[in-house]
Structure 1
Amino acid sequence: MKMISQWMSDERGSEQSPGDFAVRLDLISKVHCLEQAEEYYNSIPDHLRGTQVYGALLNCYAHKRRLEKAEATMQKMRELGLVQTLSYNVMLSLYSHMGRYEKLEALVKEMEEKGVNSDIYTFNIRLHAYVATSNIEEMEKLLMKMETDSLINIDFHTFFAVANGYLKAGLLEKSIVMLKRAEELTVPMVGTTKAHAYEMLLTLYGSAGNKDGVYRVWNSYKNTGRIFNSTYICMINSLMRLGDIDGAEWISEEWVSRKTLYDIRIPNTMIRAYSRKGLWKKAEEYVNKIVESGMQLEASSWDHLATGYHFGGQMAKAVETLKKAISISKPGWKPNPYTLKTCLWYLESKGDEEAAEELLKFVSEHHPVSPGKNDI
C-alpha cells in the first residue's frame, strides 16, 4: 500500500493522460489487488475519468468476477454516455463466465434497442453461451446472421464454438463440417496462434471420432515447421481417445527422436492413457524405458502407474508404486484419492491392518493435512 501511495504521489507531479491512468489502474489491479486499484481510481481527477478509465475499472471488476460492482460501473457509464461495444462485450463475457445467461440475453436486447453494433467478439461470446446451454437452434440462427453480415469477419473461434456445440448435441456430421471450415482458416496463421488452432482441431476431431481428420491436421501441422510439445500432447490424447494405441506410441517415439526440450507432460500423458485403458503392462514397460534412458519421472508419473496397476488388479504393485510417488512428491502434491483409498482397502481386506496404518502414516508424514483413511 505504501508503494502505491508513493507512486500516486509521484504521478501527481507530472501531466497524465486518461490513457495513462487507465493503464496504471489495470496494472495495479493485476499486480496488487482490487482495493488498491479502487484507491488509485479515486485519486484520478473527475475530468479525466473518461471512457478509457471507466473501461479499465469495468475490466478490473469483470476480471475479479465482482458482478455487482461491474454492473454499477456499467450503469455509471450509461449515465455519462460512455458505453461502447467494448463495454458491452466485457459485461457479456462476465455474464457468460458466471452462467448468468438471462442477464446476457437482456444485455443483447439492450444493444439491439440502442442500435449498438456487435463485433466478432460479441457474436462469439453469444455463441459460447448457446453452446454452454445446448441451445442449438439459437446457435445456428446466430451463425447464419454472422455469415450474412458484411461487417463481420468470421474467425476460427467461431467455427470451433459451433463445432463444439454440435459435438455436445451428438450431431457429429455437422460438427465435422464446422471443423473443416475452421481448418481452412488456419492456413495463413503463424506461431503460437497457429499451434493453438491446430491443437483445438486435433482435440475436437478426436472427440468426434474422426481419425482421418486427426491425421490430416497433424500432417498439415508438421509441414509448418516447429512442433510445440503441447501439440504432441493433444495428438497423443486424441489418438488414445480413438483407441489408436499404435499411433499414439509412434507419435511418442517421434517426439523422443526429435530430441526436443524434455517435457514430463508427454511421458505422463502416455502413462496416464495406458493406465486408464487398463494396459498396465504397457504402462510399466514405458516407465521402465523412461527410467533406463536417464529421463526423470515425477510423483504424478508413478501415481498414474499405480492407478494402472489398480485397474489391472495388480494391487501389491499399486501399493509399492504409490509409496514411491509419495516419497518423491513435492509440497502441495496429492496422490489420486481413489487409488489411495483402494490401496488401503486392499491391505485391510488382506487383514494387514498394520500395513494400512503404515501407508496412511507415510502419506501423513509427507502431507500433514492428509485425511484419515475413513475420510479419503
Structure 2
Amino acid sequence: MAAALLRAARASRHLALPRSIASSPSHLSSSSCTASAAESPSPAPAAPAIPADVEDAVVVVAVDDDLRSHIFRLRLAKRSATEALEKWAGEGRAAPAPELRRIARDLSRARRYKHALEVAEWMKTHHESDLSENDYGVRIDLITKVFGANAAEDFFEKLPPAAKSLEAYTALLHSYARSKMIDKAERLFQRMKDADLPIDVLVYNEMMTLYISVGELDKVPILAEELKRQNVSPDLFTYNLRISASVASMDLEAFKGILDEMSKDPNSNEGWMLYRNLASIYVDASQLVSSGNSLVEAEAKISQREWITYDLLVILHAGLGNLDRVKDIWKSMQMTAQRMTSRNYVCVLSAYLMCGQLKDAAGVVDQWQRSKVPEFDVSACNRLFDALLAAGFTDTADSFRELMLQKSCILSSRASARS
C-alpha cells in the first residue's frame, strides 16, 4: 500500500518529473490512449467509376494515415515502435522531433512505456541536434519504468556533462525515490547542490516524499528549513508534506505553526485557505493529541503514518479543486486489503462537505453505514459536526446535519449538550 500511496502522490503532484511532463494534463480518457474517433482519418476520396462490364469488382479506397495513429496501432508491447518508425521514414515520410515528443508523451500517459521509450530513443538517433534538456529527463523516467532505477542511473552517468541538467538530475532523483533508494537519493541530492544547480521546489518535495515514505519524518522539517535558507518558495504540495509529517509524528505544535506560515505566505489563495481549514477540521474531528494513543491500531497491517498521508492527500486535492483525484484516492483506499478507520471516512466526508458536494458526501455515508470494518460510528460524525461549527462553517454543519437526518442519524453538538 505504501507503493500505491507514492504512485498516487506523484501522479497528482508531477513531482520530480521532467518539466515537459509536469506541465501537461494529468489525465486522458480511455479513447485518447488509442487511435480514436478524434484521430480518425480524413474522408476517403471518391471511388473511381466501375466499368459496366466489370462484375464483382473490388474497390480499394485510399485512407490517409498519420504517424501517431500508426504507432498507437501497434498496441501490443512485443511489437516494435522502432521498426514502425524505420518503415515510416523509409517510405520518405517525415517524423519531426516535435511530433515524436508528443507521441512519446501520449504513449507514456497511456502507460505504454516500452513504446514511448523506443520513440524517444529513435528521436535521439535521428534528431540528436534537436534534443532539449527535457528530452533527457523524459528518457531517464521512461528507462526507470521499463528497466528500473539501475538502468536509469547507468544512462545518466554516461551522459555528457552538458546534458546533466537540472531536469536530468531531477528525473534520476525521482527514480531513486520511487525505488526507496535513500542512500543514492541523498548522495545525488548533495551532488546537485555541489554542482550549483538552481534547485527548485520540486526537488525538495521529492526528498520530503521519500523521507515520509520510509518513515524518517524528522528529516522533513530539516529540509523545510533548508528550503527557506535557499529562498525557494514552497508550494501547496510542500506544505502538505510538512503537515503530513507533523501530524503523523503527533507534533501538533509544529502542525499549528505550519498552518500559520501558510496563512502568511504571499502565494496563499482560496485553495490554500480551503486546505488549511480542512486540515484543522481533520485534526480536530480525529481527536489527534500529542500524548494519546487514539491513532494506535495494533491489529492493522498498515502504519498510521501511511493512513494519515493518504488522508492529507485527499485534503490536498480538495484544496486544489481536483475532485476527480479525491475520488480516485478514496477508491484506492477502499481497495486495499488493510482495515480502514473511522478517521478515513471523516476525512473524505469533510472534503466533500466543504466543497459543497453533498451527493458525494451522501454516497460516503451510505458506504460507511454498510461497512462492517470499520462499523459506522455516529460519535465520529458528531466530532466532525462539532469541528465544522468550531471552525465557523455553520452552513456546512447544518447541511451535514440535514444529510445525516436523511440517513436516519441525528447529530448532536457537544456545545449544545453542555448548555
TMscore range, shorter length: 0.5 to 0.7
SS at match of 2:174: helix
Please point out which of 156, 174, 182 is paired with 1:108.
Answer: 156
Unmatched 5+ residue regions in structure 1?
10-24, 246-254, 256-260, 315-323, 329-376
Q: Aligned letter for 2:42? A: Q
Give the alignment partner of residue 217 of structure 1, picking from 243, 246, 258: 258
Q: Deviations over 1:33-53 (max 9, x none)?
A: 93499999969x958533322
Q: How many angstroms does 1:313 deviate by?
A: 9.2
Deviations 1:215-249 (A, max 9, x none): 1221222343524435544554566778249xxxx
Matched, 1:130 2:130: no
SS of the counterpart of 1:6? coil
Contact 2:177 2:206 in 1 (8 A): yes
For residues 280 and 168 of structure 2, what CA distance do their matches in structure 1 show?
A: 31
Task: Map Cα deviations across residues 119-149 of structure 1 (whole Å, 9 max, x no partner).
Answer: 3232222222222222222111111111112
1:203 maps to what in 2?
244
- Residues 16-37 of structure 1: per-residue CA shift (max 9 Å, x gap): xxxxxxxxx89x78xxx93499
- Pairing partner for 1:179 from 201, 206, 224: 224
Using a 3 Å threshold, how does the CA distance of structure 1 residues 182 and 149 change in structure 2: closer, same or farther?
Answer: same
Partner residue in 1 for 2:187: 141
Pairs within 5 Å for 1:59-138: 59-82=105-128, 83-97=131-145, 100-111=148-159, 114-138=160-184
Question: Cα distance 1:313–1:205, how it changes in 2: closer, same or farther (>3 A)?
Answer: closer
> In 2, distance between residues paired with 1:196 and 1:130?
20
1:162 Cα deviation from its structure 2 partner:
1.6
Structure 1 299/241 Cα, relative in aligned 2: closer, same or farther at 3 Å?
closer
The answer (yes or no) to whether the contact 2:239–2:262 under 8 Å persists in 1 is yes
* Identical-residue share of aligned pairs (%): 10
TM-score, length-scaled by structure 2: 0.48
1:302 is matched with which residue? 366
CA displacement 1:315-366 (0-9 Å, x = unmatched): xxxxxxxxx99x99xxxxxxxxxxxxxxxxxxxxxxxxxxxxxxxxxxxxxx
> Quick one: structure 1 residues 278 and 75, their matched pair in 2 at CA, closer, same or farther if it must change by over 3 Å?
closer
Taking the aligned partners of 2:289 and 2:259, their CA distance within structure 1 comes to 14
Residue 5 (1) aligns with residue 31 (2):
no
Distance of 2:275 and 2:365 partners within structure 1 = 17
Partner-residue secondary structure (3-state), 1:301: helix
1:226 is aligned to 270
Conserved in 2, the CA contact under 8 Å of 1:203 and 1:234? no
Q: Secondary structure at the match of 1:90?
A: helix
Rounded Cα–Cα distance in structure 1 between residues aligned with 2:262 and 2:218: 23
Aligned length: 265
For the aligned residue pairs, the C-alpha RMSD in angstroms reads 5.2
Q: Output the CA distance in 1 between the equivalents of 2:227 and 2:283.
A: 18
Shift of 1:7: 8.7
Q: Which structure dedicates a bigger proportion of its chain to helix?
A: 1
* TM-score, normalisation: structure 1: 0.53
Output one character per residue of 1:174-200: Cα deviation in whole Å (capped at 9) or x when no partner.
2320133346678856xxxx3343333
Write the distance in 1 (CA, Å) between the matches of 2:252 and 2:154: 41
> Residue 164 of structure 2 aligns to a residue in which SS?
coil
2: CA distance, partners of 1:91 / 1:154:
20
Question: Relative to 1, partners in 2 of residues 1:244 and 1:198: Cα closer, same or farther, differing over 3 Å?
Answer: same
Unaligned 5+ residue runs, structure 2? 1-36, 46-65, 76-80, 291-314, 316-320, 334-338, 379-402, 408-419
* Aligned residue in 2 for 1:34: 72
Paired position in structure 2 for 1:351: none
Q: Is the 8 A contact 1:172 1:208 kept in 2?
A: yes
- Tell me which of 86, 102, 114 is aligned to 1:56: 102
Provide Cα deviations, 1:245-274, integer angstroms capped at 9, x if missing partner.
9xxxxxxxxx9xxxxx9x9x8xxx9xx9xx
Structure 1 residue 60, shift from structure 2 partner: 2.7
Q: What letter corresponds to residue 136 of structure 2 in structure 1?
A: Y
Q: Give the number of the structure with larger relative contact order, counting CA–CA contacts within 8 Å between residues 6 or more apart.
A: 2
Aligned partners of 1:98, 1:235: CA distance in 2, in Å? 41
One-letter amino acid matched to 1:80: H
